[in-house]
Structures are given as structure tokens and as C-alpha cells.
A and B are shown apart, each in its own frame.
Chain A
Amino acid sequence: MISRRGILGGVGAAALMTQINPEFLISSAYAQTGKPIIFLSAENITGNWDPTAHTTLSQKNIEAYVMGYLSRAPMRPENPDETNMELAESITLLDRYRLEIKLRPGVSFHDGEPFSAKDVKATFEYGAQPDRPAQWYPGPTDTFEVTTPDDLTVIVDTTKGGYSASLFIFLASYLPIMSAKDVAEGPNGSLSQRLNGTGPFRFVEQRGNDTVLEAFSGYFKGAPKVSGVTYSFVGDGTTRILSMLNGQASIIERLEPEQIDTLTGKPGITLSKMISVENKYLWFRCSKPPFDNPLIRKAACHAIDRSIIYEVLGESGSPSSNFISPIKFGYIDLENYPEYDPEECQRLLAEAGYPGGEGLPELEYITSVGFYPKTKEYGEVITALLQEQGFPVTLNVMEVAAWNENLYDRPGGGPGHMVDCGWSTGSPEPDLVLRTHFHSSSKRITGLVDPDIDALLDKERSAASLDERRDIIQKELTPMLADRAPALSLFTSVLVHAMDSNLTGLFLYPDGAIDASAATFG
């Protein structure tokens, strides 16, 4: 029965409906035309924007949008040594200890300061200080001298350090150039608060997990065509791929092998796959038993059949037989690289006094989950292969924070006996891997102290020319590393990005950095 109350209620409800804006409640997932590039990152950033205060890959990738570099290294397999000039017009080795850098005129920082030689000098001298966490330089500040004969010329003199100035050539494509004015304020100043560079995009703000960049109209190569870049941390791989599929993301990274299959052939999505600068390693704790014995390390290497690991990885890994990526300076497929050889494994174990693995202590193999693809899966494969040869191995799978805390060497030897970890440095410079991990002054994960390896690392660093350096790396250093096996490089990572097919003009570097200065939404 209809009542007055019912009629009044119905009229009121009808009137209310006309006031509701459906756009407030519902909006189409695709109503986002004219947007900036939306990049979804798998890794979070640090809280400090100072480029010398971190070693985080995602933050280095943000720097690649904002900062300028003296040169850039495309690092393609067909020409890994190629460098393209950017802030520098030329980089010339004057003699063994002196490097001359001629700078490009007419460039300015995002804050309006003109770029000149003093900025390069300030960057080098600040970045090489021994208290900086990112230790990329061949030696501390007091081992080299930087002079600026004029505003567009820089001379780096490494006589004091005794190493070749050519070590700065590859670093030139890796070190973002900071403003001398910012550097003068020190680590507590504006360096830590925001990025200020000469790149195509200007840092606007950090909004929660979004790093907001806008196109810099004063970019010396011409203003970018896209309005900006929003670099967002999204930790879950499934979430990233859903964002790609529903059009909310322009680019996503770190695809799992199964996700590559899902996206292949999808209309509107383009995949980019490239050999990365990152190798994945099985690091041995070389400062404590039993892996302080090179015979046992080599025996473990011969127990591992890497072809099975490649099957597990699918498109996420690429075979390599060296301790550096194929796109790094000095790579060669080593003839003596340890391959799967159970008989040799048993022979070495017997020679070491542990026939069939008898007498070996319980071994802990630490790996992570949730960061690199398939670490748990191939960790199980490696564990089974080692156990097959008599190594009493237990696999310990940790989430990333706990793994990070157990990763590095410490006095008495780091936790566990073997650790899985990758190492990625976006430059052809091999010492960013080799010296960092295998020289006794650094030995970050292995704890290795080997005078012979130290001597060869010092020798190649002091080489008079790049050709001489290459020879030492290929014929002496890396073969010795293969013989002493402080670690086993399992494979080279393959960097896979998925992109909106309408987004063209991007250039991707093999550490994940992207040049979007010429990018457009077609």
C-alpha cells in the first residue's frame, strides 16, 4: 500500500540522485590521456637524495632521468666498450696518470646555475671521500688531484695514487655530476633533500612512494616531449603487471619468466629484453672453514650443473662464463671456468681431505626470496646438486630484510657458508665488481684475503693503457679467479621491461636506467 511517507521518500531520493556526480564515484581506468610516463619500480629508494650516499639501483635509475653524466655507455653486447659524450665533448688520456676532460658549453643545472669545470671537480673530490657509502672511485680523494685550467677543462691527475687515470674513463658514464654549490653545503645540505642535475627531467617532489619529475624546458638537447616522469615503488610483481594490463602504468620492470609469457603478444604492450650488467653469484665465505680452502670451493663449483639453472630461469638469465657481465670491459669466456664435473669434484674433495664429503661441517646456504626471480627455485637445485656430491648443505631462504642483514662479510666470517646475491653496476668498469669483492681491502661478501689476487687487481688498475689493462684482466686476473673460485658466477641477468606500445623514443641501459629525453606517446 502506498503511503504519504513512501511518496515523500521516493521524491526525496530522486532529487538526491540528480545531485550525485557519478564521476566522483566511478571513473574509467582509461581516463588518463595526456599523462606523464608512469614507471613502476620493484625496488624502493633511500631517504637521502645524495648520489654518493647509497648503492640502491632504483635510485640510480631515477638519477639517470635527472642528472647529467660526462658520457653515457650503451653497453650493448656487440659493442660493450662504446661511450657517447654528453656533458663532456671529449675525454682524452694525456699520459698514464693524466686525463683531460673537455666540457660542453651552454649547459645549466635545474636551479639555474651554469655547469662548468668546478662542478666536475667538486663531484669527484666529494664522491671519493672515504666516508661516502658509495665507493665507486679507484681511490680516495687524496690519491688524485683535479685541476681546472679554464671553465670548460678538467684535468684528473692520479700520480699520487699510482694507478692509471684511464680508470676514470668508464666511471665518467656512471657518476652523476653534482652542482659545486650543492656539494659545498655538505652531506646535510640540499644534496640530501632533492636532486639537482642537468638532465632532461627536473625533480619536483617525493609524494609518498611516487618520485615526481617534470620535463626541464632548458635541457641542452631540447625539452622532452613528455610532460614528466612519475617513478613509483610498487613492491608486488603481480600488482605491477595488472597496472600494465589495465593501462595505469607506462613501463614496468623485473618481470618474472611467467609474466614474460603472459605479456608476449599482448596488444598494446611491447617487451624489451637485454643482457644486463648484473651477474648472479654464489659467494663463498672465504675467511672461515671449509671454504677458506680453494680446493673445496672449486669442488663445490664442479658439483653445480648450471644448465639446470638456466632451465629454471627461462628468459630471466643468460649463460656466461666469467665473473663479470659480457657487456663489461674485459669480459671473455674463460677456458678454465669451472663447469659441472662430478669426477673432478670428488677428486678435489679427496685431495682436500674430505673424500665423498665425509668430515665436512654442516654448511648453510643463504638465499633471498621476493627480490630476484627464482632464487628459491634454483637455490633448491644447487642444494640438491651439492648434496649429491656429499656436501652437507642446508638451504636457508630469507625474506629480503633478513637476507640483507646476513649478506656481508664481518670479522670472523659472515653468516652462513654460501650466499646468493647479484651485483649490478651500470658502467663498463669491471673493478666495480672485481675489486669490490675480491680485493682484500674491500672483500664485501667473500672475506677473501689472497695476496696473488690482490697483486693482479693492483696490476690491472695500474696498467698504462686500456689495451694493457684488458690483457691483464683476460689473461691473468680472471683466469686466476676461476682457479681460486672465491665465488661462482651462475648466470648473467636479463633485464626485461614491459612498455606501453604507444610510448616510443626510449633508450634503455642494461642497468635499468632509461633515457626518456626523446620519448613520446604516439
Chain B
Amino acid sequence: MFLVNFLIRRLAQGAVIVLLVSFLIFTLLRVVPGDPVRLIVGGMAPDALVEQIAEEMGLRDPIPVQFFRYMSGVVQGDMGQSFIRPASGAAVGGASFDDNTRSERANVLDLIADTAPYTLQLAVLAMVFALVIALPIGIYGGLKPGKWPDRFALYIGSLLISLPNFWLGIVLALVVSVNLGWLPAIGYQGFSYTILPAIVLAVEIAPFLIRTLTVSVAQNMGESYISVAAIRGISHRRIVMAHALKNSSVPLLNLLGVQFSMLLGGVLVVEFIFDYPGLGLLTINAVLQRDFPLIQGIAIVTSAAFVMINIVVDLIATTIDPRLDY
């Protein structure tokens, strides 16, 4: 019963959030400079043709009318077609004077479905790498508050957070791929192409995990039930692994949810540098080409993913700590 109520309430809230985000993005796209119709038909086409095609595409209607028409399609599973990309999914631009073949444009949902798995793979691997870095450093730092492991955790976190991701990406590609030849760097032709971009993303999120773990573990180790457990004869290893870490995991879980959601948006720079064919690269090209339906679709999918991840995280958190009430 709690689960049903929880889901209904949170999904309703999520729907409102997604709607608001969609409307905001929808409006912004239509007020900033850069007419997609000019990009579609090309610079040599006369202005009269630009206006004619814009009328046919409904781009001169009032914004609320356009939004209503768009959302009517979305609720039926139709996010529209890309203004510019053909069914092959290529990033296109330039003078594609092309209203005749517009019916052969790629469906937005197909473009997102094709690229989202790559970003998902990248995000999951980045999270794994981040945990591999953060768990030992954060836990050990939390177990030794005020001592060198704690200070080390602070310093390493400060160092990692100071590294710009675009710089780190280029340096890693240069050293690991070019100079050492250990890993490929550009594009995607197999799982190995995910490793370097995932390392860059992991370096970006690990500091937050380290800090949260250090604080959380230290706080829990100072609780009275930990002292009592020792008196009861439970081994230190079991106290840490079975009790302290379990209670420390709730803030970590919340952070993981937020960081995962931010990863989906934060992959833009990394995917662009590594030419990794995920949602981030798709978004950048869509913005540069004013591909409104594609930008809109990505915004909806990303905000929906954010909402769902937070719902799942909150649900898991209540499982771990029944005192929590979402």
C-alpha cells in the first residue's frame, strides 16, 4: 500500500516536472537566434521559400499552440521527426534544400534509442570506476578521522575535482592512446572505446563520493551502537562491513542517484572530445543545428530519467533505513 501510494505520488510529481522542463526548453528554443528552416533549406534559397516551409512545419504558430501540438504527439509516443537528420542518423547540416524528402527524416525516438545505450554503458562504467576509486579511499578516511587517511581523502578529492574534464580527456587520449597505444580513444568500435571516457567521468564524480563516504562513515563510527557492538564481542571487521557501512550507504545512495542523473547531462563534453556516439554528442549536434524536435526529445528523456532514478533511489533508501519517509 505504501509502495502504491509512493509511486502514484512521485510519478505524478515527476510528470509535472517533466512538463515544466519541456515547456521551458520548448520556449527557449524558439526565442533564441537561429532559424532551423534556414539551416534546412540552405543559404541560397529565397526568403519566401523559408517562410513557406516554416508555415508548413507550423513554426510560425504561437508557441503555446506549437507546444500543445507537440505534447499531443508525445503522449501518443510520437516525439516527431528530426528537422535535419535522415533515417541513417547522420549528423547533417548545410544547404539541404529538402522539403520534398522530409518524410524520410529520422524519428526522434529512434535517434535517442540508438544512442542512449552507449551513454548508459558509459555512465555505468564511469560509476563503477568512481566507486572503485572512492570506496577504499572514502571508507579508510572515515575510519581514521583526523589522521593521514582522512587528510589524504581530502587532498585527493580536491585534486580530482580541480581537473577540468576536457583537459583530462585530451591528456588521457594523448598519453594512453597515442603515446602508449594501450587503448583506443576516438569513436566507438567496441567496449574498449568506453574505457577512457569513463575514466574522465569517474574522476569528475569520485571526489563527491569520497567526501560523502568519509563524513558518513566517520559519523556512524562515532555512534553509540558501534561502541556497544564492540563490547558485545563483534569483530571490528564485521562492525564496519555489516553495520557502519550499511548505515553510511543511505547518503551515498542518494548521492549516487543524483550523480548518475548528472552524468547523463555531463557526458556532453566527454562524448564530444572522444567522438563517442552517445546522447551527449547527439545533443551537441542537435543544438548546433537547431534541430528543435531532437533537442526537445532529449530534454524530455533526460528529465524523465532524472525523475525515475530519484524515485528508485528513494525507494531503495527506505528499504535500507525504515525510518525514512518519502
Most A CB atoms within 10 A — which of B96, B170, B289? B96
Check if A246 sits within 8 Å of B184, measured CB to CB. Answer: yes
B100 and A188 contact, CB distance less than 8 A: yes
Does A236 contact B177, Cβ atoms closer than 8 Å?
no
Interface residue stretch chosen among B6-14, B63-71, B84-92:
B84-92
Q: Are B95 and A239 in contact (CB under 8 A)?
A: no
Interface hit among B40-48, B212-220, B317-325: B40-48
Contacts of A243 in B (CB 8 A): 185-187, 275
Q: Which of these binds chain A: B30-38, B132-140, B154-162? A: B30-38
Quick one: which of A200-257 are within 8 Å of B by CB?
Answer: 205-209, 211, 232-236, 238-239, 242-243, 245-249
**Judging by beta carbons under 8 Å apart, are B96 and A53 in contact?**
yes
Q: Is B316 an interface residue (CB 8 A)?
A: no
In chain B, residues 187-227, which have Cβ atoms closer than 8 Å to a Cβ of chain A?
187, 190-192, 195
A54 interface contact, C-beta 8 A: yes
Contact code string A44-74 (vs B, CB < 8 Å = 1, else 0): 1111100001111011000000000000000
CB contacts (< 8 Å) of A242 on chain B: these are 170, 173-174, 177-178, 185-186
A264 within 8 A of B: no
The reply on A401 being an interface residue by CB < 8 A is: yes
- Report the separation of the CA atoms of residues A233 and B275 in the bound assembly, to the nearest whole angstrom: 9
Known A-B contacts A242-B186, A401-B34, A444-B43; A44 and B98 likewise in contact (beta carbons under 8 Å) = no
Q: With A47-B84, A400-B288 known to touch, is A246 a contact of B181 (CB < 8 Å)?
A: yes
Please state if B275 and A234 are interface contacts (CB–CB under 8 Å): yes
Q: Does B182 contact A (CB under 8 A)?
A: yes
Question: B289 touching A239 by the CB < 8 A rule?
Answer: no
Indicate whether B130 reaches chain A with its CB closer than 8 angstroms: no
* B288:A405 contact, CB within 8 angstroms: no
Flag B69-110 by CB within 8 Å of A: 1 or 0 each.
000000000000000111011111111111011001100000
Decide if A83 is an interface residue (CB 8 Å cutoff): no
Q: Which residues of A contact B192 (CB under 8 A)?
A: 25-27
Cβ-based interface call for A192 (8 A): yes
Q: Answer whether residue B39 sits at the interface, using C-beta atoms and an 8 A cutoff.
A: yes
CA distance A404 to B105 in the complex (A): 21
- Shortest beta-carbon distance from A75 to chain B in Å: 23
B92 touches A234 (CB 8 A): no
**Is A135 part of the binding interface, using a Cβ–Cβ cutoff of 8 Å?**
yes
- Residues of chain B contacted by A27 (CB below 8 angstroms): 184, 190, 192
What separation, in Å, do the CA atoms of A234 and B186 have in the docked complex? 9
Nearest chain A residue, comparing its CB with the CB of B177 = A246
Q: Does A408 sit at the interface, judged by CB under 8 A?
A: yes
How many cross-chain pairs have Cβ atoms below 8 Å apart between A and B? 183
CB pair A30–B96 under 8 Å, yes or no, is: no
A449 interfacial by beta-carbon distance below 8 Å: no
Q: Could you tell me if A248 and B186 are in contact, using CB atoms closer than 8 angstroms?
A: yes
Provide the residues of chain B in CB contact with A232, threshold 8 Å: 187
- Please measure, in the bound complex, the distance between the C-alpha atom of A84 and the C-alpha atom of B325, giving whole angstroms: 80
A43 CB–B CB distance under 8 Å: yes
Contact A238 B92 (CB under 8 A): no
Residues facing B in A12-54 (CB within 8 A) are: 24-30, 43-48, 53-54
Contact with A along B3-36 (1 / 0, CB 8 A): 0000000000000000000000000000001110
Chain B residues closer than 8 Å to A235, beta-carbon distance:
91, 272, 284-285, 288
Q: B178 contacts which chain A residues (CB < 8 A)?
A: 242, 245-246
Per DSSP, are chain A's interface residues mostly helix, strand or loop, or mixed?
A: loop
**Which A residue sits closest to B288, measured CB to CB?**
A401
Chain A residue numbers with a CB within 8 Å of B288 are: 235, 399-401
B181 smallest CB distance to A (angstroms): 5
Known: A188-B101, A401-B289. A208 touches B90 (CB 8 A): yes
Quote the shortest CB–CB distance from B294 to chain A (angstroms): 13
Alpha-carbon gap, A209 to B182, bound state (A) = 25
Q: In which size bucket is the chain A interface?
A: 35 or more
CB of B274 within 8 Å of the partner chain: yes
- Chain A residues whose C-beta falls within 8 Å of the C-beta of B94 in the assembled complex: 43-46, 54-56, 58-59
Closest B residue by C-beta to A131: B97
- Are B97 and A407 within 8 A (Cβ)? no
- Structural contact, B86 and A25, CB atoms closer than 8 A: no
A243 CA to B275 CA in the complex, in Å? 10
Instruction: Indicate if the CB atoms of A47 and B185 lie closer than 8 Å.
Output: no
CA distance A249 to B185 in the complex (A): 11
Q: How far is the CA of A192 from the CA of B97 in the complex (A)?
A: 11
Q: Kindly state whether residue B149 has any CB partner on chain A within 8 Å.
A: no
| Nearest neighbor of A398 in chain B, beta-carbon distance | B33
- A238 to B38 CA separation, bound complex (whole angstroms): 29
A residues near B174, Cβ cutoff 8 Å: 242, 245
> Is the CB–CB distance between B100 and A29 below 8 Å?
no
Inter-chain CA distance A271–B308, complex, in Å, is: 51
How far, in whole Å, are A398 and B45 apart by their CA atoms in the complex?
Answer: 21
Return chain B residues, CB-CB under 8 Å to A24. Answer: 190-191
Q: Please name 27 pairs of A and B residues whose Cβ atoms are closer than 8 Å in the assembled complex, sorted by A.
A: A24-B190, A26-B182, A28-B182, A43-B94, A44-B92, A44-B94, A46-B95, A47-B85, A47-B86, A55-B44, A58-B94, A133-B42, A134-B95, A192-B100, A206-B90, A207-B88, A208-B114, A209-B277, A233-B91, A234-B275, A235-B272, A239-B272, A239-B274, A246-B181, A401-B289, A401-B290, A410-B47
A27-B190, A55-B44 known, 9 other contacts, Cβ within 8 Å: A28-B184, A45-B93, A55-B43, A56-B94, A192-B100, A209-B89, A235-B285, A404-B38, A444-B44
The 3 closest A-B pairs by CB, nearest first: A46-B96, A56-B94, A47-B86
Interface residues of B, Cβ cutoff 8 Å to A: 33-35, 38-39, 41-45, 47, 84-86, 88-98, 100-101, 104-105, 114, 170, 173-174, 177-178, 181-187, 190-192, 195, 272-275, 277, 284-285, 288-290
